[in-house]
Amino acid sequence: MQTKSSYRVLKWTLLLGGLASLVSACVVTSGDGNISGDGGESGTTTDTAGKSSAAGTGGSSSTAGKANSAGTGGSATAGTSSNAGGEGGAGGAAEVYEPGICDAAVADVNKGALPTQFPSCAPATDGTDDGDTKACKRCLKDKCCPAWQNCYGSEPHTACGWGPHTKDDDGQWDCLQNCIGANKTGEATPEALLTTCSAECTNQCDAADGGNLLVATSDLVTCANDPMTCQDICFPF
């Protein structure tokens, strides 16, 4: 009986020792699983802790940071497009027409309004002086050059050569020449026709200059109406 009792004690001792070894082995195995988890990025482990570690490694916040960088780039592109549009919109202002001034606009009304820049009296090289309708212009440039320059000069424009509103409006000289050529009122003498047309062609200076033509216009009429210059061409009756 003592032998059997000693045997049982030894058996239980061995059995408890084995269980202790088994528990210790399980702890080591669990530790080994965590080590395998560090290698879980390769995808070869089935350990749960390893998968969690792999997911943690893959979930890097740097990817979101790159997305933010892309957003910044998009904003810069939009700004460039806006600037380009602004530069394009600055383009092309319409030319402003400068009406002819009156004698009343200058200090010396006896001398009258005169330009400071003068056109050439040389024949046009582009053919604009050709044809019967330009014959008077060619004659004036040839026989009455100073008076023609004072009428059609610039800086400033004067009412002799420049109309009241647009570049298509007749100045006093062109209005006068057209009126005499048409003789719509049927005047009987050249003198009466000239008087009538002069009153109709003061244009924008009618009130300012007391119903009189500009000094520059009168000077051009005097030269053009001379039988030795351009009377037959510019003032046919």
Report residues of the chain scoring pLDDT below 50: 1-86
Say what the pLDDT of residue 134 is.
84
- Coil/strand/helix, residue 154: strand
Q: Which residue has the tokens 């916040």?
A: 61
| The pLDDT value given to residue 95 | 78
Torsion angle (degrees, nearest 10) of CA 40, 41, 42, 43? 60
How much is the pLDDT for 128? 67
Distance CA 140, CA 124 (A): 13
Give the Cα separation of 13 and 15 in Å (integer): 5
Q: Are 148 and 141 in contact (CB under 8 A)?
A: yes
Instruction: Name the one residue in this structure whose structure tokens are 């009343």.
Output: 104
The C-alpha atoms of residue 133 and residue 131 are separated, in whole angstroms, by 6
What number of CA atoms fall less than 13 Å from residue 52's CA on the CB side?
A: 6
Q: DSSP 3-state assignment of 117?
A: strand
- Checking phi first, is residue 47 left (phi over 0); if not, alpha (psi -120 to 50) or beta? beta
Q: What is the pLDDT of residue 93?
A: 67
Residue 93, token pair as written in the block: 């202002």
Q: Which two tokens stand for residue 195?
A: 């008087």
The tokens of 73 are what?
A: 């780039």
Q: In this predicted structure, what is the pLDDT of residue 35? A: 35
pLDDT computed for residue 131 by the predictor:
58
